């Protein structure tokens, strides 16, 4: 027989069990949360310690690199006048750049070495050329060789100079003993122009040198190397410029940090 007293006891038992469950669950949840927070804090502390150690190592490496750079600059300053000044006196040199600028250090080196820069040519990047430039490399090579060009060829050169796609400074009376070709990224270079210059300049008669900036990623120096050029792929650095000086003084080779290089720097 159902009694009110039994019903009340049942309800009390249910609520008591519910309360105990909530209490136990909360206690367990709080313990787990505290444990997880402790683990996170320990992990973050460990990461901070590792980062501090890495920071100390990097600072030490930076100090070492700065010290080495300082010593190298002192060494270069002392070595530069001994090796460079007057070492190319009277040597006639032509400089051609295509798709890039000539590294300033190269021209400074040639000037300090007292070389005679008889020709400077700058041809803009391939995307700004048009069909009339089909034989431009041939025309330039002929002029560098001291060969005469006809009126039509001269008109092409004049037109390109007028619209600032070609900059030239030539002494057509003096034939160079060496030709330096400074090239940019492959996408900025006309293969036709480079091939024509290579075909019409004889590496057995001229010292032929291909140069690149260190930052060039898609190099064409391997092609020049296969044609008998000496190549230097870090011409914007003191190492590349010393290698250039050695090559122009009669020690051909392929120098730098890229695929075409056989040695990092030339010896004297």
Of 62, 83, 104, which marks where a domain is finished? Answer: 83
Judged against a pLDDT cut of 80, whether residue 168 lies above it is answered with no
Whether 266 maps to a domain, the answer reads no
205-262 pLDDT per residue, tens: 889 999 999 999 999 999 999 988 999 999 998 889 999 999 999 999 999 999 999 9
User: Which pLDDT score is estimated for 143?
Assistant: 82
Residue 231 vs residue 78, higher pLDDT: 231
The verdict on 160 and 28 lying in the same domain is no
State the Cα–Cα distance between residues 253 and 268, nearest whole angstrom.
12
**58: which residues sit within 8 A by CB, 6+ positions away?**
none
User: Which pLDDT score is estimated for 116?
Assistant: 92
> What angle, 0 to 180 degrees and rounded to 10, lies between the N-to-C axes of helices 104-112 and 238-248?
50
State the Cα–Cα distance between residues 146 and 156, nearest whole angstrom.
18
User: Which pLDDT score is estimated for 267?
Assistant: 80
Phi, psi of 234 (to 5 degrees): -130, 50
Residue 19 vs residue 103, higher pLDDT: 103
Domain that holds residue 212: 87-255
As for how many domains the chain has, the answer is 2
Angle at 194 between CA 202 and CA 181, to 5 degrees: 70
User: Which pLDDT score is estimated for 146?
Assistant: 74
Instruction: Among 4-8, 45-49, 208-212, name the one with the lowest average pLDDT.
Output: 4-8
Query: 152 by DSSP, 3-state: which?
Result: helix
Of 83, 110, 125, which marks where a domain is finished? Answer: 83
State the Cα–Cα distance between residues 260 and 20, nearest whole angstrom.
80
- pLDDT band per the 50, 70, 90 thresholds, residue 3: low
Q: From residue 231, how far is each of 31, 57, 127, 180, 234 by CA, in Å?
A: 70, 37, 25, 10, 9
CATH number reported for the structural domain that contains residue 221 in this entry: 3.40.50
User: Which pLDDT score is estimated for 172?
Assistant: 59
State the Cα–Cα distance between residues 48 and 183, nearest whole angstrom.
47
- Rounded to two decimals, the pTM is 0.70
Q: Write out 31-56 in H/E/C secondary structure.
A: HHHHHHHHHHHHHHHHHHHHHHHHHH
The verdict on 171 and 61 lying in the same domain is no
The verdict on 67 and 144 lying in the same domain is no
> What angle, 0 to 180 degrees and rounded to 10, lies between the N-to-C axes of helices 238-248 and 4-83?
30
Whether 224 maps to a domain, the answer reads yes
Whether 21 maps to a domain, the answer reads yes
Q: Are strands 230-232 and 207-211 parallel, antiparallel or unpaired?
A: parallel
Q: Which two tokens stand for residue 54?
A: 């890495």
Query: 22 by DSSP, 3-state: which?
Result: helix
The verdict on 97 and 73 lying in the same domain is no
The verdict on 44 and 122 lying in the same domain is no
The verdict on 23 and 66 lying in the same domain is yes
Angle at 164 between CA 106 and CA 142, to 5 degrees: 65
The verdict on 78 and 132 lying in the same domain is no
The verdict on 52 and 100 lying in the same domain is no
The verdict on 187 and 202 lying in the same domain is yes
DSSP label of 226: H
Whether 25 maps to a domain, the answer reads yes
């Amino acid at each position: 027989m159902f009694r009110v007293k039994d019903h009340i006891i049942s309800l009390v038992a249910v609520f008591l069990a519910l309360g105990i469950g909530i209490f136990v669950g909360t206690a367990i949840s709080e313990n787990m949360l505290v444990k997880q927070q402790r683990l996170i804090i320990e992990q973050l502390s460990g990461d901070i310690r590792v980062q501090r150690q890495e920071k100390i190592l990097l600072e030490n490496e930076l100090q070492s690199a700065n010290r080495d750079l300082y010593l190298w600059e002192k060494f270069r300053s002392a070595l530069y006048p001994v090796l460079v000044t007057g070492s190319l006196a009277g040597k006639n040199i032509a400089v051609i750049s295509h798709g890039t600028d000539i590294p300033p250090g190269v021209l400074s080196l040639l000037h300090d070495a007292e070389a005679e820069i008889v020709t400077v040519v700058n041809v803009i990047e391939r995307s700004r050329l048009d069909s009339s430039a089909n034989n431009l490399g041939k025309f330039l090579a002929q002029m560098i060789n001291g060969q005469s060009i006809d009126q039509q060829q001269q008109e092409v050169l004049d037109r390109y100079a007028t619209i600032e796609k070609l900059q030239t400074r030539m002494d057509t009376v003096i034939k160079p003993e060496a030709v330096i070709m400074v090239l940019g990224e492959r996408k900025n270079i006309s293969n036709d122009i480079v091939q024509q210059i290579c075909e019409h300049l004889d590496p057995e008669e001229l010292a032929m040198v291909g140069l690149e900036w260190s930052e060039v990623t898609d190099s064409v120096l391997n092609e020049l190397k296969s044609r008998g050029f000496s190549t230097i792929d870090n011409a914007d650095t003191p190492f590349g410029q010393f290698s250039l000086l050695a090559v122009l003084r009669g020690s051909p080779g392929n120098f730098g940090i890229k695929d075409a290089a056989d040695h990092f720097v030339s010896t004297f």
